[in-house]
């Protein structure tokens, strides 16, 4: 039986850049840590000693720089929404990491307008996705099938419209990280 509450032994990365949505990231980190995930806040910055400022003024110290992150040291990756999305969309390091995670079959999650980053990474063509209504056109133009639902899971991709779906979002990621049952 799957214990969706437990992510013990799993490392989940959250990519942040200046202007991240404070409430999404703070709540997400709380939920992941409560579920015993090793949570890594990954900064797009150049120095790990610099705190990243959220769009509402929160300062968040990163656990790791994006230049040090790889699919080999993460079990899942998440892109939150906020004003930081435009910066992440144009960062080749972030796009390469998303492609590596996707290719490895590891969960790739986005929150609200963070789903737009999937278009830049070339990951939405033919996939069912959701996100903030403001990114619906971009997702469709990228070849995605936009569904007006709170959460959409398509293979290893988990997308949500808003932070109100964070509990189900982390449940879906935990489920995707469970090993497949074996027949005896």
- Inside any domain, residue 133: no
Task: Tell if the pTM clears 0.95, that is, is over it.
Answer: no
- Ranges 12-21, 45-54, 85-94, 128-137: which has the least confidence: 45-54
- Which of 47-51, 72-76, 108-112, 160-164 comes out lowest in average pLDDT? 47-51
Residue 5: per-residue pLDDT = 66
Domain count, the chain: 1
Q: How confident is the model at residue 1 (pLDDT cuts 50, 70, 90)?
A: very low
27 and 167 Cβ atoms separated by less than 8 Å:
no
Q: What is the span of the domain harbouring residue 34?
A: 11-113+165-177
Mean pLDDT computed over 155-168: 96
Residue 84's CATH number: 3.40.50.880
pLDDT of amino acid 179: 77
Checking if the pLDDT of 82 tops 80, the result is: yes
């Amino acid at each position: 039986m799957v214990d969706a509450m437990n992510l013990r032994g799993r490392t989940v990365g959250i990519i942040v850049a200046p202007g991240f949505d404070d409430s999404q990231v703070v709540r997400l980190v709380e939920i992941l840590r409560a579920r015993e995930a090793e949570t890594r806040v990954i900064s797009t910055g150049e120095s790990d000693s610099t705190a990243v400022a959220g769009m509402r003024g929160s300062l968040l110290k990163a656990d790791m720089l994006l230049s040090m992150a790889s699919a080999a040291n993460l079990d899942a990756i998440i892109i939150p929404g906020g004003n930081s999305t435009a910066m992440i969309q144009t960062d080749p390091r972030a796009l390469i990491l998303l492609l590596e995670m996707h290719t490895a079959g590891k969960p790739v999650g986005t929150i609200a307008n963070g789903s737009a980053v999937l278009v830049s990474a070339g990951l939405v063509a033919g996939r069912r996705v959701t996100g903030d209504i403001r990114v619906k056109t971009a997702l469709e133009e990228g070849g995605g099938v936009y569904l007006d639902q709170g959460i959409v899971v398509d293979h290893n991709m988990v997308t949500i419209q808003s932070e109100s779906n964070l509990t189900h979002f982390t449940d879906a990621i935990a489920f995707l990280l469970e090993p497949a049952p074996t027949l005896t």
